[in-house]
Structure 1
Amino acid sequence: MELRLLVTFEKVATVLSFTRAAAELAYAQSSVTSQVRALEASLGVELFERLGSRIRLTEAGERLLPYARQIIDLADEARAAVTATDEPAGTIAVGTVESLTSYRLPPLLELFHHRYPKVQLTLRPTLGDATLRALREGTFDLGLLLERETRHEGLESEVLGEEPLVLVAAPGHPLAGRRGLTAAELAAVGLVGTEPGCAYRDLFEAELGPWSPAFLEFGTIEASKRGVAAGLGIALLPRITVSGELASGALTALDWEPPFTLFTQIAWRRGKRLPAHVRLFVEQLRRLVSESPGSP
């Protein structure tokens, strides 16, 4: 079996589209089709069922896929081993969310910029479901998640710690200083939130249930904080993102504890052999998160 045929097969099997696989591999669609057919001919089995405009793996294709991924990963590892220098090098595509990118990752990015300049980091801001999908499809090498669930189908994940959340308001807000706030009381005032799909926004909205009014949506955490400070509503945010404003008095914490817990996690596709420079990133991330002020 030729490696290039396995690479093409793995991509088609992951995205379940000859057209999309061709685009991601920078091939003509006819080349992808002919390579899959060549692999099928060499094995004497059909690997995909063609169902009109859709495809799915046959039983033989399902059996081959984990072996193809192992072979591809081993080939990448062998290539890295024979070309390796003492200095870590390579690319890492990381799917991550704004709160982690802006408030937890800067020390790590600075470390890699100065100490490991041959490691090229690409951060892709995505919400949780999109990150999980991209990891399964092989688009991202790693994913940084802020989720309630800690097990994800088809992925290996490691919990770095609990991420504390806090409900904040402007100091002069009517709920500031009130004790034992209820969901009904929270829903009776304006709510500021990030976009739908953000784990803590969605969980907060579900908790308010039938009382939940429409959120005044802001595109970023920074914009959300400014909206809250201007008295436009209250917002549930990771504590690390508002620690400066709470310390300065620009925002105040309300007396409400979320009945759910989110965890900062790092994830990668199950069965994927992480290259040395990717393992280095994971190790340094563990260390810096555990040592950082306000760490989970």
Structure 2
Amino acid sequence: MIDLLEGRFFKTFIAVMEEKSFNRASEKLGYVQSTVTNHIQQLERACGQKLFYRLSRGVKPTEAGLKLAKFAHQFVHLGLTLEEAMNESNQPKGTIHLSMHESFFVTRMSSLIQKFRLEHPMVKFKLETGYHQDVIDDVSQHVVDFGIVPRNPERDDIIFYPMLTEELIFIASHELASKVDTNGLKVLNNESVLSFGNSCLYHTHANMILEETGVETSHAIQYPSIEMIKKAVQCGIGFALIPKIAAETELEEGDFQSLPLSSGIFSTHGIIVNKDRELNYPAQMFKSFVLESYSFEKK
């Protein structure tokens, strides 16, 4: 089987997986579509399995295709790591592929990446965003070098490096907060809980705390970003549980208030790495840089 495989086949396979289309994959790679088709056919012959279902609008991977994805990412990553090792110099060069929640990137990681790139301008970053399970999946499938999650996934295939413990708070408009002060938490039963959706760990935390405090709200609204959630809260659409750091400016400027639903809500963020992942030199440097930055912060 190994004699039939070429690295470019795996690069094409990953492009088709990401684009969900042979045509878009060919545009992304700069190939004609027949070349993409040929590469996938070569892989299918080598694997002895059909890798994609052809649909009316694009393609989707078969079960065999999903199995191959993990190895394809590893193969391409190994090739890039080898190339970088052969060209290693005093100035690190290469791409670091990360996955994390959008709110963590906005509030914490963007400044660290900016600082790191000032020192190492030849290093590039490729970012994926998703919820807790999305990030875990990216790491376990070797889609990224490492991810950042708000809780230890406690999995045998993943190593967790704790970074910081972050406080979470419930926020609400002044009008809703005033109603809670006057009439108690029962007024929240008629209000909407705003979150990133059921897949978000903050949503799970919020539901658990609401249940513990006797709030039985049945309304939930999903938003794609933390900025939309904050604006919706400010408009009085509902209330939300978010990292305190993400609300500090608005709290200081009086755009909304915190709710006394629970005190001491914390989440321990950390870096997760697939235990079988051989990080390239820039990724090793950035991982150490991030952990050292938060270690210094704790002192």
C-alpha contact (below 8 Å) 1:170/1:230 kept by paired residues: yes
Give the letter for the 1:234 counterpart: F
Name the counterpart of 2:205: 203
Name the CA distance, whole Å, in 1 between partners of 2:131 and 2:64.
27
Most deviating of 232-241 and 221-230: 221-230
TM-score by length of structure 2 reads: 0.71
Counterpart contact for 1:95–1:126, Cα < 8 Å:
yes
Equivalence map 1:215-234=2 (5 Å): 215-234=220-239
Partner of 1:159: 162
**Are positions 1:249 and 2:251 aligned together?**
no
From the superposition, tell whether residues 206 and 8 of structure 1 become closer, same or farther in structure 2 (CA, over 3 Å): farther
Give 3-state SS (helix, strand or coil) of 2:116's partner: helix
Does the C-alpha gap of structure 1 residues 71 and 215 become closer, same or farther in structure 2, counting only changes over 3 Å? closer
1:106 is aligned to 110
**Change in CA separation of 1:175 and 1:48 when aligned onto 2, cut-off 3 Å:** farther
Compare 213-222 and 80-89 and name the one that shifted more: 213-222
Greater share of helix: 2
Counterpart Cα distance in 1 of 2:136 and 2:276: 15
Total equivalences in the alignment: 275
Shift of 1:6: 7.6
Of 273, 277, 283, which aligns to 2:282?
277
Q: Counterparts of 2:218 and 2:111 in 1: how far apart (Å)?
A: 38
Deviations 1:141-189 (A, max 9, x none): 221222x44324633322212221101122343345479x65x553343
In the alignment, structure 2 segments of 5+ residues that lack a partner are 30-34, 54-61
Aligned to 1:28: 36
Tell me, what secondary structure is at the counterpart of 1:234? strand
Report SS of the residue matched to 1:274: coil
Out of 85, 90, 110, which is 1:86 matched to?
Answer: 90
Which stretches in structure 1 are left out of the alignment for 5+ residues? 39-46
Equivalent residue, structure 2, for 1:136: 140
Deviation of 1:236 after TM superposition, in Å, equals 1.0
The alpha carbon displacement at 1:200 in A equals 0.5
TM-score (normalised: structure 1): 0.72
CA shift for structure 1 position 85: 1.5
- Percent of aligned pairs with the same amino acid: 19
One-letter amino acid of the counterpart of residue 164, structure 2: G
* AA in 1 matched with 2:159: E
Cα shift at 1:271: 0.5
